[in-house]
C-alpha cells in the first residue's frame, strides 16, 4: 500500500518530507503515526519500487528504509541513492542479524541505522537529526546559488541590511558622477572595496585604479610617490619617476588613510586637486592630470581639521560627497550571508571543500563584537575552512583575539533573536508557521517576537 503525495517540481525552503519504506504494514503504520505526531510529512511505501519515483536529487527529503525488502533491498537502494544525491540522508532499519551489514552501510554513506524493534522516540530522534542536516544543506546551497546569481555592486558589497543597501545606493549614485569622494569607516569595513566599486562602475573604469596607502609611505618619499621626480631631484634619483597622480590619469586615485598624510604634503595635494595639475619633484613644469580622487579615513576629517591635525581647506576641497561604512557589529544580520561568501572564497583559494556553517558556528559568530570588522571575519573564515577552529568555536574565536561584546546581555539576546528569526523567515519565504516549526517555538510566540522586533514577514515572501 502506498500513501505517496505529489512530488514538488522544484526544491524549495519548505519543511523536510520523509520517504519511509517498510514492507511490514503494522510497523509502517506505527512509524508513520509517530513521525506524523512529531510534525513530519511522510510518504510511506511497501517497497523500493513504489518509493523510487518520490526521490529526486536536491529535494527536501530524508529516506528511511528497511534493509530486508521484497525486490530491491535497502542496501542496494542506498548505493543507487548515493549515486543520485551523495548528500541525501538515508537511514536504514535493520534486524539484529543485519547490524554488521548496517555498520558497513554507514561507512558506505548511510546517515545512520536503527535496530528493530525501536521506540518511537528513537525513530523520531534520528529522523529529526537527519532532517535538520538536510535542511541546513539545502539552505546552504540556496544561499550559494543566490551569491552566484548576484552581479555588479551587489556581488561586491554584500549584505541584506538596510545600512548596506544605503551604501550600495550611494555608490550607484556617485559612481557616474565626476565628484571626489571621501569614504569613512573603521579598520576592516571595506573602504577599499567601495573605492574599487566606484571606479569599476564609472566612466573611468578603463583607466588605472591606483591605490596609495598614505600611512605606509615614509615621510621623505611621500611627495616623490604622489607627484614623481626628475633625475637628480635628490640623492639617489637616477631616473625620472612617474608619480601616482600621473599614473592615475584617466582613472582613479585612491588615497587610503589620508588622515595620516603629512601637513606639508597636504598643501601640494590641495593645489593638485584645485588646478588638476602636478609638478614633479625637481621640476617647475606643470603636468596636467585628469583623475578622480577618492580618499578614505577611519577618523573624522572635519574634527581633525578643527584640531589643526588636518588642513581645513583640503577637507572642504575633498568633502564634496561622503560614504560612511557601518561596522559589522551594527549590521549583524549580514553575518550569515557574508560569512558564507567568505567561506566559499577561502575554499576556492585553498583548494578545499567549503564546510557547512551550522547553527553552533553561526551563534558564536553572532555573539562577538568584531572589532576587526569584515577583515577579521575573513580571517575566521580562513581558519574555518582550514579546520583550525575546532569543536569549541567560541573558545577558538576568543583565542583569535576577538574582544568580548560591549553590549548588555538583553541587547545581545535581542540581536541574536532578530537574526535567527530573520533567517528562518527568509528560508521559509515569509511563512510564519513554517519558520516557527523550524525554530522550535509556538507560532504565537514567534508572532509576538517579530512584532516586538519589528520584523515584517512580507519582506521575505517570493514575488509572484
Point out the least confidently predicted range of 148-162, 208-222, 346-360.
Answer: 148-162
User: Which has more confidence, 184 or 156?
Assistant: 184
| 51 within 8 A of 23, measured Cβ to Cβ | no
Which run of H or of E encompasses 211? Answer: strand 209-213
d(Cα 315, Cα 182) in Å, to the nearest integer?
A: 9
Alpha helices, H only, 16-98? 25-37, 48-51, 74-84
Q: Give the global pTM.
A: 0.62
pLDDT at residue 255, rounded to an integer: 95
- 3-state DSSP assignment of residue 182: strand
Point out the least confidently predicted range of 182-191, 241-250, 410-419.
Answer: 410-419
- 3-state DSSP assignment of residue 72: coil
Point out the least confidently predicted range of 126-130, 147-151, 415-419.
Answer: 147-151
**CATH 3.40.50.300 domain residues, the chain:** 153-326
Convert the pLDDT of each residue in 349-400 to its tens digit. Answer: 999 988 887 777 877 888 788 999 999 999 999 999 998 876 556 555 654 4
What percent of the chain is modeled with pLDDT above 90?
Answer: 38
Q: How is domain 17-148 classified at the architecture level of CATH?
A: 3-Layer(aba) Sandwich (3.40)
Q: How far apart are the first and last CA of the chain?
A: 37
Q: Which residue has the cell 584645485?
A: 274
pLDDT at 224 over 80: yes
Q: What is the CATH number of domain 329-460?
A: 1.10.8.60
**CATH 1.10.8.60 domain residues, the chain:** 329-460
Omega before residue 278 within 30° of 0, cis: no
Is 153-326 in CATH node 3.40.50.300?
yes
What is the dihedral angle through the alpha carbons of 358, 363, 365, 366, rounded to the nearest 10 degrees?
140
Q: What angle do CA 256, 259, 226 make, to 5 degrees?
A: 55
User: Which has more confidence, 414 or 364?
Assistant: 364
Q: What angle do CA 77, 79, 83 make, to 5 degrees?
A: 115
Convert the pLDDT of each residue in 284-343 to its tens digit. Answer: 888 999 999 999 999 999 999 999 999 999 999 998 899 999 999 889 888 888 998 899
Contacts of 78 (CB under 8 A, 6+ apart): 65, 90, 92, 105, 108, 109, 110
pLDDT at residue 187, rounded to an integer: 93
Q: What is the mean pLDDT of residues 268-288?
A: 89
Mean of the per-residue pLDDT values for the chain?
A: 84
Q: What is the mean pLDDT of residues 76-97?
A: 88
Q: Which of these, 339, 429, 341, lies nearest to 11 by C-alpha position?
A: 429
**CATH 3.40.50.2300 domain residues, the chain:** 17-148
Residues in the chain: 464
- Return the axis-axis angle of helices 335-350 and 373-385, rounded to nearest 10°: 50
Amino acid at each position: 500500500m502506498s500513501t505517496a503525495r505529489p512530488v514538488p517540481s522544484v526544491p524549495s525552503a519548505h519543511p523536510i518530507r520523509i520517504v519511509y519504506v517498510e514492507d511490514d504494514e503494522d510497523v509502517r503504520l506505527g512509524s508513520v503515526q509517530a513521525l506524523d505526531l512529531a510534525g513530519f510529512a511522510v510518504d510511506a511505501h511497501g517497497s523500493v519500487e513504489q518509493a523510487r519515483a518520490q526521490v529526486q536529487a536536491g529535494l527536501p527529503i530524508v529516506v528511511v528504509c528497511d534493509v530486508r525488502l521484497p525486490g530491491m533491498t535497502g542496501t542496494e537502494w542506498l548505493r543507487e541513492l548515493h549515486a543520485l544525491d551523495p548528500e541525501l540522508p538515508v537511514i536504514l532499519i535493520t534486524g539484529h542479524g543485519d547490524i554488521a551489514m548496517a555498520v558497513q552501510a554507514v561507512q558506505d554513506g548511510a546517515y545512520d541505522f536503527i535496530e528493530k524493534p525501536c521506540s518511537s522516540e528513537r525513530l523520531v530522534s534520528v529522523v529529526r537529526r537527519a532532517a535538520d542536516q538536510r535542511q541546513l544543506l539545502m539552505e546552504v546551497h540556496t544561499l550559494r546559488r543566490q551569491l552566484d546569481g548576484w552581479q555588479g555592486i551587489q556581488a561586491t558589497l554584500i549584505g541584506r541590511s538596510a545600512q548596506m543597501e544605503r551604501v550600495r545606493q550611494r555608490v550607484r549614485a556617485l559612481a557616474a558622477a565626476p565628484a571626489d569622494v571621501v569614504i569613512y569607516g573603521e579598520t576592516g569595513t571595506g573602504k577599499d572595496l567601495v573605492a574599487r566599486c566606484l571606479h569599476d562602475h564609472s566612466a573611468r573604469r578603463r583607466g588605472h585604479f591606483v591605490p596609495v596607502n598614505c600611512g605606509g609611505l615614509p615621510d621623505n618619499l611621500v611627495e616623490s610617490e604622489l607627484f614623481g621626480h626628475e633625475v637628480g631631484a635628490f640623492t639617489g634619483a637616477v631616473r625620472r619617476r612617474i608619480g601616482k597622480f600621473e599614473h592615475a590619469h584617466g582613472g582613479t586615485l585612491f588615497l587610503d588613510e589620508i588622515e595620516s598624510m603629512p601637513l606639508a604634503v597636504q598643501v601640494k595635494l590641495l593645489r593638485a586637486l584645485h588646478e588638476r595639475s602636478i609638478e614633479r619633484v625637481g621640476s617647475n613644469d606643470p603636468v596636467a592630470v585628469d583623475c578622480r580622487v577618492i580618499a578614505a579615513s577611519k577618523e573624522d576629517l572635519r574634527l581633525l581639521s578643527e584640531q589643526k591635525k588636518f588642513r581645513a581647506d583640503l577637507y572642504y576641497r575633498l568633502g564634496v560627497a561622503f560614504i560612511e561604512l557601518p561596522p559589522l557589529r551594527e549590521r549583524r544580520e549580514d553575518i550569515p550571508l557574508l560569512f558564507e561568501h567568505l567561506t566559499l572564497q577561502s575554499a576556492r583559494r585553498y583548494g578545499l571543500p567549503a564546510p557547512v556553517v551550522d547553527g553552533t558556528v553561526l551563534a558564536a559568530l553572532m555573539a562577538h563584537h568584531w572589532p576587526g570588522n569584515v577583515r577579521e571575519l575573513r580571517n575566521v573564515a580562513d581558519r574555518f575552512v582550514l579546520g583550525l577552529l575546532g569543536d569549541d568555536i567560541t573558545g577558538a574565536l576568543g583565542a583569535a583575539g576577538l574582544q568580548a561584546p560591549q553590549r548588555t546581555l538583553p541587547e545581545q539576546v535581542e540581536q541574536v533573536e532578530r537574526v535567527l528569526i530573520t533567517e528562518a523567515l527568509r528560508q521559509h519565504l515569509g511563512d510564519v508557521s513554517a519558520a516557527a516549526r523550524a525554530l522550535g517555538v509556538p507560532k504565537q510566540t514567534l508572532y509576538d517576537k517579530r512584532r516586538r522586533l519589528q520584523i515584517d514577514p512580507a519582506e521575505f515572501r517570493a514575488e509572484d
